[in-house]
């Protein structure tokens, strides 16, 4: 009886996770990552490798204390690997039981990440009964895979947020936050920072929809990014007013056109 209750609870949690996947996959406009929903159980996540703007701001340029920019970036990545080494399988023999293959193996991945980005796959497969994450590109940047064997490349990542899924209410954005902080150099203080330049460049109608969806998401789910909400709300209201003015002007033009015909 207890086992059946536990299974029902796991299924319920997984359905909530899949709902999170669908929600996050419908959004755009984030600075450090871009989600792409692929089917009901998979979310592709493109994460920025190097935040060049923040790096230049922090170091004052491309050289700092005689050390090259590339050296500093490599050093930061190495420090992350040291801190997270226990979170990854580095040898096939050590993690043979972890070879839970995704429905779409790495060698058949058709999605290509943008320059300066790493591609991840987040999935909540019903057959596994819980979420997992896989690296889909730049494996060598984040983990020593010990070869090019597809079974090794398709070993799921051991993330704290996913490990905690059994004991706490882990959401998709918890996993995304961990991946961004692990992948992006330097680690952003706010993984859910918005790319306001991109959002402002969208066509008016699309900008209104995107800002509204992001506002709903940030206010309801990601409560710790308050600094993003105020400028986003202003842009959303401004877009709404612009749409209303356009609608009124087009309606007025239609009325004048009808009067002229009479």
pLDDT at 109 (0 to 100): 67
CA 65/CA 59 separation, integer angstroms:
9
Report the Cα 243 to chain-centroid distance in Å: 30
Q: What is the pLDDT of residues 85-101, one digit of tens each?
A: 344 444 443 444 456 77
pLDDT surpassing 90 at residue 120: yes
CA distances from 186 to 32, 69, 191 (A): 11, 12, 11
Which of the four pLDDT bands, split at 50, 70 and 90, describes residue 108? Answer: low
pTM: 0.75
């Amino acid at each position: 009886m207890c086992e059946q209750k536990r299974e029902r609870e796991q299924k319920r949690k997984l359905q909530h996770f899949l709902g999170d996947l669908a929600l996050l996959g419908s959004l755009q406009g984030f600075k450090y990552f871009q989600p792409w929903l692929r089917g009901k159980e998979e979310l592709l996540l493109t994460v920025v490798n190097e935040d060049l703007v923040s790096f230049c701001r922090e170091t004052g340029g491309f050289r700092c204390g005689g050390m090259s920019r590339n050296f500093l970036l490599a050093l930061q990545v190495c420090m992350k690997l040291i801190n997270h080494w226990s979170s990854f399988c580095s040898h096939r023999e050590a993690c043979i039981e972890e070879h839970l293959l995704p429905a779409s193996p790495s060698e058949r991945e058709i999605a290509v990440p943008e320059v300066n980005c790493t591609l991840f796959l987040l999935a909540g497969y019903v057959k596994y009964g819980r979420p997992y994450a896989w690296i889909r590109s730049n494996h060598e940047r984040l983990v020593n895979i010990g070869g090019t064997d597809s079974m090794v490349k398709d070993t799921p990542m051991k993330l704290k947020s996913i490990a905690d899924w059994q004991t706490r209410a882990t959401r998709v954005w918890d996993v995304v936050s961990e991946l961004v902080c692990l992948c992006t150099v330097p680690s952003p203080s706010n993984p859910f920072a918005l790319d306001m330049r991109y959002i402002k460049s969208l066509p008016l109608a699309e900008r209104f929809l995107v800002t509204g969806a992001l506002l709903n998401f940030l206010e309801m789910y990601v409560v710790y990014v308050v600094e993003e909400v105020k400028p986003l709300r202003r842009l959303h209201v401004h877009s709404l007013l612009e749409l209303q003015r356009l609608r009124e002007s087009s309606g007025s033009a239609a009325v004048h056109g009808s009067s002229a015909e009479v």
